[in-house]
Amino acid sequence: MVVLQTRLTALGILAMSLLDAVFTLNVLTLGAREANPLMAHLIDMGVGWFFAGKLALTLGGVVLLIRASQAPSHRGPSALTLLRLCFFGYAALMAWHLILVGRLS
Structural domain total, the chain: 1
In the chain the first and final C-alpha atoms are separated, in Å, by 43
Q: Is residue 2 one of the residues assigned to a domain?
A: no
Mean pLDDT of 8-19: 94
The answer to whether residue 85 sits within a structural domain is: yes
What predicted TM-score, i.e. pTM, was given to this entire model?
0.86
DSSP states along 37-96? HHHHHHHHH-HHHHHHHHHHHHHHHHHHHHHHHTSTT--S--HHHHHHHHHHHHHHHHHH
What's residue 43's pLDDT? 97
Is the confidence at residue 66, as pLDDT, over 90? no
Is position 100 within any domain?
A: yes
pLDDT in tens, 38-58: 999 999 999 999 999 999 999
Domain encompassing residue 45: 10-104
pLDDT of 72 strictly over 80: no
